[in-house]
Amino acid sequence: MIALALSLDLLGEPRLLGELASGRVPSLWATLSLGYLGIGAAMAWHLGRRGHGLGTATSALACWPLLLGLVGRPPPQTTELDLGHARPIQIGPNHSRIEGCMATLQEGLQEDFDGAAGTRLIDAAQLAKLAHSLHRADHRIARVDRLLHETAAQGSAHVELDPQLQAALATLRGARDHAHDELEAVLSGLLSLRVQLGLFALAGESEPVRARLLELEARVAALAELSSVELAQVAS
């Protein structure tokens, strides 16, 4: 409608706009409204058949363009959202380093592989997932650090610590150091991947970059599993 009005104004035909407004707009409006509601009704019917709730189907009737992403998708497992578990993770001690590494890698992909080709090689979602895993590992280290610091503060306040607890703390410290070393290794790997990107781009090869990134992803996943096992041992 805006484009139409601007085009007619640009052509300097205000009378034509007036004629259109007085003569044809009502039927045009009616047709557009019926078409919009018809598509909404079809989408509401589709979502209803797929098992989506009444609220979602009714929303589709009025605002179907917003719910196009639900077409063909099954309904969610639950009708409630637990906001407590969706809380964003807190910032860890290596937050800025991780962000820096990921930004450098992203820039490298765009510079060396000419933007679109870089996106095809490693997509943004893959990099974001890797960054998120690294932040989670970093956050776990921060939590362990905080726990150790609090325990040390209690120890310095002349509170006797149970020998069993001391042994658990030593194990926890070891697990923390191991996780930190692994995180350092992955960050170094990411930086070396940035260098390799340039070399691979010159050679016109992309497969080794993808393989290297998959290797780093596996290492980060292993880091999460390892941390869980080691922390479980501490807890027991």
Partner 1 sequence: MSAGSPTSSLALVGVLLRDPALLLGTASADAHDEANVSDRLAVLAPRLLGITVAGAAIFGLVIGSYRGDLQYAYAAIKTPLLLLIPILIGLPAIRAFHDACEVSISWSRLALASMVAIARTAALAAACGPILWLYLSMHPDYHRAVLAMAGCLCLVGLPGLMTLLASLPGGGRHRPLASFASVAVLGVLLAQSGWLLRPFVVRPRAEISFLRDVEANVFSSLASSGSSARGHYRGWDARGAGLLGREESPR
**Residues near partner 1 (CB under 8 A):** 1-2, 5-6, 8-10, 12-14, 17-18, 21, 25, 52-53, 55-56, 58-59, 62-63, 65-70, 73, 75-89, 106, 110, 115-116, 119, 123-125, 128-129, 132, 135-136
As a residue count, the chain comes to 236
The residue (of 39 and 226) whose beta carbon lies closer to partner 1 is: 39
> For partner 1, which is the closer residue by CB, 83 or 159?
83
User: Smallest distance from the beta carbon of 189 to partner 1, in angstroms?
Assistant: 21
User: C-beta of 154: minimal distance to partner 1 in Å?
Assistant: 32
- Report the C-alpha gap between 14 and 19 in whole angstroms: 9
End-to-end CA gap in the chain: 68
Minimum gap (Å) between residue 182 Cβ and partner 1: 19
Q: How far is the CB of 177 from partner 1 (least distance, A)?
A: 25
Count how many Cα atoms sit within 13 Å of the Cα of residue 182 in the half-sphere of its side chain.
24
Measured over the CA atoms of residue 201, residue 204, residue 206 and residue 208, the dihedral's sign is negative
Strand, coil or helix: 80 = coil
CB nearer to partner 1: give 18 or 198: 18
Nearer to partner 1, 55 or 163 (CB): 55
CB of 198 to partner 1, least distance (A): 18
Tell me how many helices (H) and strands (E) the chain has: 9, 0
CA distance 210 to 208: 5
